[in-house]
Structure 1
Amino acid sequence: MRFCELKEKEVINCKDCQRLGFVADIEFDPCSGRIEAIIVPEQGKIFWCFGSCEEYRIDFCNVVKIGPDIILVDIPPRICKS
């Protein structure tokens, strides 16, 4: 699978069925070449690269399944701030 294909997939948390967004970046170990984590900017941040915003750093061991359209992850739900 290529990175451009990974970026087209939506990430969904299995714990609470929340849509987290789309993959924006990956973190990998340069020595082994293994993917360490996927980075997903918080939904609703269109210009996430122009300033600070929240992002999800999801360890690759928490990826449950990579399907044709989505990536299922198993992470604790975020606490919503009101």
Structure 2
Amino acid sequence: MGFSELREKEVINICDGKRYGHPIDIELNDQACAVALVVPSQTGWKGMLRSVREGIVIPWSYVRRIGDDVILVELNASFFQNC
């Protein structure tokens, strides 16, 4: 599955049901394997500007399932304490 397909799916946290929107970027390692998804930051007024490319980096190990329409991630409270 390519990034063009991934960015069509909505990212949802299974811990609290929060919707993070669609991935805006993907981080790859030296072997071109995905290591993280980047989703839009929803904090403050910058989150409303489409030209702002800052976001929340979600390590690939937090991705639990990729479905037809959604990407389910598991982000508990400790994840946000480490940000």
User: How would you bin the TM-score normalised by the shorter chain?
Assistant: 0.7 to 0.9
1:1-82 equivalent positions in 2, closer than 5 A: 1-30=1-30, 32-43=31-42, 45-49=48-52, 53=54, 55-77=55-77
Give the 3 Å change call, closer, same or farther, for CA 13–48 of structure 1 in structure 2: farther
Q: How many residues align?
A: 75
RMSD: 2.0
CA-to-partner distance for each residue in 1:17-63, whole Å, 9 max, x for gaps? 11011101000102x2211100001245242437xx5x210000000
Q: TM-score, normalised by structure 1?
A: 0.79
Paired letter, 2:50: F
Identical aligned pairs, as a percentage?
39
- Deviating 4+ runs (over 3 angstroms): none
User: What's the secondary structure of 2:48's corresponding residue?
Assistant: coil
Q: Structure 1 regions of 5+ residues with no counterpart? A: none
Query: TM-score normalised to the size of structure 2?
Result: 0.78
SS in 2 for 1:57: strand
